[in-house]
Structures are given as structure tokens and as C-alpha cells.
Amino acid sequence: MKISRTTILTLGVADLPKATKFYETVLGTPPNTSSDEITFIELPGTWLALYPLEKLAEDISPGVPIIPSGFSGVTLAHNAGSKEEVTAIIRCAESAGARIVKEPQETFWGGFSGYFADLDGYYWEVAWGPMFEFTEKGELRFKKTP
């Protein structure tokens, strides 16, 4: 039996070079651009892939409709190591061209978070929570309780 896991999240983007530069700036990770058609950003646990939106829709099924931008009911999340890191990432995203949707602030669940929309309108939450920690490999875990 194999353990299920999400290995890659693929975002359909309008402009691959611009999206690649945006995510390289915001995530601080050099992208893998060994192919001219897709970008991979190799993150701990789950990679992020950027692929032209029209080609992604065509890959799913010829003629699949592309839904106009707006809130789709899905958000992506980036957990940070501190409140200060949340704010720094939000400011970095803003300077790279993101639209800030919600400024970083204390949350009802005891954490600290803010939201931005990337160049293609995907919503990202940047959050810190006192119940989380990172493994040596950079993977998010719940803190062990004594």
C-alpha cells in the first residue's frame, strides 16, 4: 500500500516568464526551467508547477471551459516561521506585483495571517500558527504535545 500525498500543484498562468519570476521572487527558490513549456519550483513536500492556462485546459480535455477570474473556492497557503516572516513575505509579494487582499493580522484561531492574489488571481494565505513547526526537511507538522 502506498501513502497518498500531493506532489505537485499546477497553476495555469497567463504569462509563464512573468509568473516564473514572480514566484522565484516571492518564494526565494530558484525555479527549474529546463523546459520552455513548464516551470517547476521544487519545494519541501509539494512542488509548484506553472503552465500556460490554455495548454493546461487543453491537457485536461479539449474544449474544457476556462472559468473567468474571481474566487474559485480554493486558496493556496504558505506557512511561515514567525509573524514577522508573514509580514515580510506579504510585502515581498506586493513588491513583486501581487495585490494584497488582507493585510497580515491576528486570527480568530490564534495565529497570524494575510492574503494576496498573485499575477493570475490565485489567492494565497501566508500564515504563522503557534501549533505548527517545521521538520529538518522543511515540512509542516503539528507540534507534539506533551
Q: Please, where are the H alpha helices in 11-67?
A: 16-27, 53-60
Which residue from 113, 116, 71 is spatially nearest to 95, judged by alpha carbons? 116
Q: What grid cell was written down for 110? A: 490564534
Q: Please, where are the H alpha helices in the chain?
A: 16-27, 53-60, 83-95
For 93, phi then psi, to 5°, come to -60, -40
The predicted model scores a pTM of 0.89
- The amino acid occupying position 43 is L
Q: What grid cell was written down for 104? A: 497580515
Whether 117 and 125 have beta carbons less than 8 Å apart is answered as no
The per-residue pLDDT string of the chain (146 residues; one tens digit each, 9 = 90 and over) reads: 677 788 999 999 999 999 999 999 999 999 999 999 999 999 988 999 999 999 999 999 988 988 877 788 889 999 999 999 999 999 999 999 999 999 999 999 999 999 999 999 999 999 999 999 999 988 889 998 76
CA–CA dist 137, 135 (Å, integer): 5
Going from the N-terminus, what domains does the chain have, and what CATH number goes with each? Answer: 1-62 (3.10.180.10), 72-146 (3.10.180.10)
